[in-house]
Every structure is written in C-alpha cells, then in structure tokens.
Amino acid sequence: MRILVVEDEVGLADTIRDGLGPAGFTVDVVHDGVNGYWAATETPYGAYDAIVLDIMLPGLSGYEICRRMRAREIWTPVLMLTAKDGEYDQADALDLGADDYLIKPFSFVVLVARLRALVRRGAPQRPSVLTAGDLSLDPAQRRVSRGTTPIAVTPREFALLEFMMRHSGHPVTKTAIVENVWDAHFTGDPNIVEVYIGYLRKKIDHPFGRAAIETVRGAGYRINADGG
C-alpha cells in the first residue's frame, strides 16, 4: 500500500513515514502544497492508495489541493489533518472532498486504522449531478448552475444546497440541516440556517425570478423538484 504524505512539519512527516513503514505502508513525503498537488495529480492514478494531507501548507493549502483533485476527477482517498485552532474545521474538510480527517495531535494507532479503512473502502464513485428542473449541482466539479448560467456559491452554501437537493421534493428540518451541513455538535444559533437560505435564494432564485427553495411552515425547507 503506497501512501502520499503532504505535511510541512518535517518532524511530524518523518514520524508518520517511520511509523507507517512497519505497518506495511510505503510512504512518499512532500513538504509543501505545490509539490503535494503535483505528486497527487501527476503520479499515475491508482499509484497511491491514499493521501494524508495537512491543511495549512506553504504554496497551496490542503483545502485547495483536495478541491482541485476532485475537480479533475482524481478520487484517491484523502485523510485530512486539521488543527483544532485552524482556519478550517472538520466539517469543511469533508465539504471539500476529503474522505476522513484527524485532528492534531492524533494517535498513531488511530492514523493506521483510519488509513487501512480508507484503503479498504477504495476511491469513491464519482457522484452524479443532482438536478431540480433547470437547477443543477455537480458534486464532482463543485459547480451550480441554472440552465447554462453558472452560479458562484461558497463551500457552505454548496453543502446546504447539495443536502437539500439530495432530498429534492421533501422538506428537510433546520435540525437536519444543521447536523448535516454544519456539524452534529454545532452549538451555535440554528437560525444560521435561515441566513444561509437567504444567501442561496439571492443566488439561485431571485436573479432568475424563480422560487426553488420553499419554506414549509413548521417543517423546514424544501427544494421544489421542478426547480421553482
């Protein structure tokens, strides 16, 4: 099993490499984002069974590496290393196309177990494009469009729209949205959902004179299956 480790803390990268060897992994290490992206995308597809990817990297962030890999339909499983006080949280790592994450500092035993599980699971299938009428969302390319008009959305708006479109035609509660789009342990104000629904409406509905997102009194929100 061959693993690519992209980690700029040299000591930590060495520790990971030295520990994974006896566990049966062959490990390549790179210390910056540009070389990490190159190794992840230019090495023949399938050569790496998984990638351990730090988020805060010089050159190119792990966030950007993962997003660009998925946009190019490179589905090598990614385990992201996130710092507790980092710029991105764990939910963001998964939003961005990572398959799993570990918070630093992590236990080596847990790292090996997670990597084995990822390799066993293999590369995920390319997710198919979700549609509601002329509204479409492509999870692989991370693109949203109305007909042929592309719509720019933030990662959180994308995750919210994707969750609703996976339940197209059915109401989803604010609680379900918070748990799936934010975090099961989210302790902030659940009215954040209303705020983000407002953002989405301004992007996918209002400019087109449409109303795909319906408020279902007492139940939550629903994406109209015909796109509104």
- For Ca ion, the binding residues (CB under 5 A) are 8, 54, 56
Query: Residue 209: left if φ>0, alpha if ψ -120 to 50, beta else—which one?
Result: left
Q: Which is nearer to Ca ion, 96 or 213 (CB)?
A: 96
CB of 58 to Ca ion, least distance (A): 8
Q: Which is nearer to Ca ion, 7 or 157 (CB)?
A: 7
As a residue count, the chain comes to 228
Amino acid of residue 164:
M
CB of 104 to Ca ion, least distance (A): 9
CB of 83 to Ca ion, least distance (A): 8
**What tokens were used for 167?**
């339940």
Q: Which is nearer to Ca ion, 55 or 130 (CB)?
A: 55
Q: Which is nearer to Ca ion, 54 or 205 (CB)?
A: 54
Q: Which of 20, 15, 47 is nearest to 114 (CA)?
A: 20
Q: Which of 25, 152, 37, 158 is nearest to 94 (CA)?
A: 158
Would you say 82 and 104 are in contact if contact means Cβ atoms under 8 Å apart? Answer: yes
**What tokens were used for 180?**
């799936």
Q: Which is nearer to Ca ion, 67 or 116 (CB)?
A: 67
CB of 157 to Ca ion, least distance (A): 27
CB of 202 to Ca ion, least distance (A): 35
**What tokens were used for 103?**
């918070």
Amino acid of residue 156:
R
State the Cα–Cα distance between residues 198 and 193, nearest whole angstrom: 9
State the Cα–Cα distance between residues 33 and 35, nearest whole angstrom: 6
Q: Which is nearer to Ca ion, 79 or 165 (CB)?
A: 79
Name the residue number minimizing CB distance to Ca ion. 56
CB of 27 to Ca ion, least distance (A): 17
* Torsion angle in degrees (nearest 10) through CA of 158, 131, 101, 33: -70
